[in-house]
Amino acid sequence: MEFCDRSPCGHLTLSDAGKEVTLAGWVDALRDHGEVLFIHLRDRSGIVQVVFTPESTPQTICARAGLLKSEFCILLSGRVVKRAEGTENPGISTGDLEVLAKDLTILNRADPLPFQISEKSMMAGAAVKREEAVAEDLRLQYRYLDLRRPRMQEHLIKRHRIVKAIRDTLDGRGFIEIETPMLTKSTPEGARDYLVPSRHYPRNFYALPQSPQLFKQLLMVGGMERYFQIVRCFRDEDLRPNRQPEFTQLDLEASFIDEEFIYSLLEELTARMFEIGGIRLPRHFPRMTWTEAMNSTGSDKPDLRFGLTFKDATDIFAGTKYGIFKQVLARGGCIKGMNVKGQSERLSKNVLQNEYAKEIVPGFGAKGMTWMRVVDGGLESNIVQFFSDSERNEILGRFEAEKGDVILMIADPSWSLVCSALGQLRLHLAERLDLIPADAFCPLWVTDFPLFEAAEKGVTSSHHPFTMPDRTDFDPENRDELLSLRSRAYDLVVNGEELGGGSIRINDRNLQNRIFKALGLSESEVEEKFGFFLRALEYGAPPHGGIALGIDRVVAMILGTSSIREVIAFPKNRSAFCPLTQAPSSVAVEQLAELGLLDLGGAQPFPGAKEQQDLIDSLSWVSRIRIEAQERPAIAAAIDDAKASAELINSRCGEEEPMFSVAPVANRTRRGTEPRVSRLAETGELLKNSPFTKGGYFKVASILE
C-alpha cells in the first residue's frame, strides 16, 4: 500500500460503492462482535466505519485487527459498500456506507489514553455526540491528543478559513501584508512588556511587541499607504479568565483616509468573517458615541441584543422632598433608572428589596437601589409615599411605564458610579430573566472616546498617545481642558464584547509633542522612548489611521465557544501557564551568566524579598491580611509554638511515617438551627484587617481569584 493512493475518510460517498480504497488515520472507536470487528477510522476529513469479517478479510488480517485499540495509527485497504438498511449511522457524514477491509498495517501503537477522544457513537441510528467532561489543564497537558478531536480540528479549520477571508478581502482592497519586528524597543502601552535579554549587548533588552503600533505608522510614513498583518502580540497583563499572554490580531493601517473608510472596510470584512460561521450580520452597523453608550447602557461596549436602556430622571426630582435623592442632588449627583418591562411577577417585593437593594446592587459599588412596581393604582414601593403626585406622574411618563413593569433607579453624586452600577445591574437582570435572544448578533461602532482619563497625578491616555484629538487648540497643562477632549477613536463592539479598536493617528510632530507634554513626559523621556518615531513625523508624514481586531476573540464569537482557548492550538491556561511544556520554567545558571543577568540588580533585593526576611511580614504578604503592631506579639508566640511542636514531632518520629491527623474527624457546625449574622460582621470587626472590601465582602488580590 502507498500513501499517494490514500482517500480521505470523510469524503467517501455512495458513488464510491464497489471501489477499492486506501485509508489511513486513527482508530476512533471499536466494537467487537466476536468474529466480526467494527472500527471507526478517523482522519482530519471525518470518520468512516471499517468492517473486518471472515467473509471479506483474510484470516491473518482479522487476527491483526484483533490487536487494535483506540488511537492506534493504521493504514488499510478495502472495498466501499452500502450499509444494510437499518444499520445506517446519521451521526457521521459517511453513515450510509462502510469499508470491507482486505489489508491492514499498524503504523504505530498508542498507550492507554488520559481521556476519551472519540466524539461519535458507533451505534446504528445514534446521532448524539459522546460527551465526557475533561479538566481543561489535563486537555492542555495532552494537547496533541485533544487536537485529534473532531470538534477541535473543526475550530482550527474554521479559524484558517476566517483568516483566509481576511487576507482575500484586504488583498482585493489594495492592502499589502508586511511583517514587523518581534524584537523591538520597550515602549510600554498600558500593559507590561515581555523583555528579552541580549547576549551581544549585555544588560540591555529587547521587548516583545504589545502591538506593531509605531512600525505600522512608520510604514505609512514610508509610503506603503495600505498595510495589514496577522500578527502575534504579547502583553504581561494581570490574569483574567479569557486572556492570553500571547495573542493574534489583525493589524491594519491606511493613509489618506478618514473614519468613514475604516467603518466601510471593517463592516465588509467583519460580515465576511461571520459568514464563514453561517452568521449574517445586519448592515450598516449603527454608531453610538461613548457618552451615549455610558448614559444608556452603563458600558463602553454595550450589548444591544436586549432593551433595558437607561433614562435620566435627575430633573424629575429637582424639587423633591425625598431625603436621599435630595442629598445626592445637593452634591451635584444624578439619578438614572430603567424599566424592566412586564417582569413584576418575577421580581417580587422580597427579591427587589432583600436581594437587589441590599446585596446585589451594593456589590456593584452603589450605596443602594430604588425600586417601584407599576400596578393599577400607579406606583408601589416602600418609598413611593415620599414622592409627590407630580413626581409619580413624571416617572410613569419618562419610563413609559405600564402595569406589570418594574422601575429601578440608582442615585449617587458620581455620574460614572451610577452608570457603572446600573450597567452591571442591566446585564445581571438580562441573564436572570432570559432576556438575551439566542443566536442574535448586534454589531455597532462606539466613537468619540475621551482622549484622556484622570490619573493620580495629571492624566493618562484612554487608548494610546498617538490618537488624534477632536481639536488641537488645547493647553497641555490645563488638566480640566485635557479631560474634556474627545478622540478620533472607534471600537467595534458585538454583543457587549469589544472585538477591536483603532483611531485616526497624529501625523504632526508638534501636536505629538504637546500630547506627550500633557502626559507629563519630559523631553529626555520622549527622546529616549520615541525619538526615532518623532523624527519620522518631520518628513512629510501623511494623514493616516487604522484598527486592530483580536483574531482569537472574533473566531471564538463566530464559532460560539466558551473560551478563546478553544480556538488556539496551544494556549496557556487561566494562570498563563502551559501544562504541556511546563512553561514558564527556570533556566540554568550558566544561561543567566551568559546573558549577564546574575547580578543585574546589584544590591537591590528581589520583589517580595523584604517580606520573606520576617516571617510575620511574609504571612501578612501571602495572606493579603494587614497585621497591626499590637497583634504581632501574639502571632509571634503562635509561630514559636508551631515551630516547637514541629521540632518535637520531628524528633520523636524517627524513621516512622508522620501522622496526618491527630484528632478524629468531626463536623464543626454553629450551634442551633437558625441562621444568624455574626456579631463581628455587624460591628465591622470581621473585615477590619481586610486591605480591600467590596459590597461587604473581603476582596482578595486578583492573582488569588
Q: Examine the pLDDT at 531 and tell me if it is beyond 50.
A: yes
Distance CA 72, CA 148 (A): 12
pLDDT at 75 over 80: yes
Model confidence pTM above 0.85: no
Q: Please report how the helices 415-432 and 290-297 are oriented relative to each other, as an axis angle in degrees rounded to 10.
A: 60
Closest CA to 48 of 78, 10, 75: 10
Helices (H), 434-580: 479-484, 509-518, 523-536, 551-559
Sheet holding 443-447, edge to edge: 176-177, 226-234, 246-255, 544-550, 497-504, 489-494, 443-447, 287-289
Contacts of 420 (CB under 8 A, 6+ apart): 298, 364, 365
346, β-bridge pairs: none
Query: What letter does residue 342 receive in the DSSP assignment?
Result: T
Q: Looking at the predicted structure, is the pLDDT value of residue 605 above 80?
A: no
Read off the pLDDT of residues 166-176 as tens digits, 9 standing for 90 and up. 999 999 999 99
Per-residue pLDDT at 34: 86
Residues in Cβ contact with 599 at an 8 Å cutoff, skipping those fewer than 6 apart: none
Residue 648 cell numbers, joined: 518535637
The domains found in the chain, sorted by start residue, are 3-133 (2.40.50.140), 153-282+552-567 (3.30.930.10), 306-436 (3.30.1360.30), 444-550 (3.30.930.10), 614-628+678-705 (no CATH)
Convert the pLDDT of each residue in 394-409 to its tens digit.
999 999 999 999 999 9
Backbone angles phi, psi at 66, to 5 degrees: -65, -15
Average pLDDT, the chain: 90
**Cβ contact 501:490 at 8 Å:** yes
Q: Are the beta carbons of 516 and 326 closer than 8 angstroms?
A: no
d(CA 230, CA 207): 19
Question: What pLDDT is attached to residue 611?
Answer: 47
Find, among 138, 157, 61, 148, the residue nearest to 110 by Cα. Answer: 148
Confidence class of residue 705 from pLDDT cuts 50, 70 and 90?
A: very low
Question: 540-583, pLDDT tens digit by residue?
Answer: 999 999 999 999 999 999 999 999 999 999 999 998 999 999 99
What's the CA gap between 478 and 457, in Å, rounded? 13
- The residue length of the chain stands at 705
Helix (H) or strand (E) holding 694: strand 693-694
Confidence of residue 190 (pLDDT cuts 50, 70, 90): low
Residue 198 pLDDT more than 80?
Answer: yes
Contact 569, 156 (CB under 8 A): yes
Cis-peptide, bond into residue 284, ω within 30° of zero = yes
The listed range with the strongest mean pLDDT (235-249, 513-527, 609-623) is: 513-527
pLDDT tens digits for range 668-697: 666 777 777 777 777 777 777 766 666 666
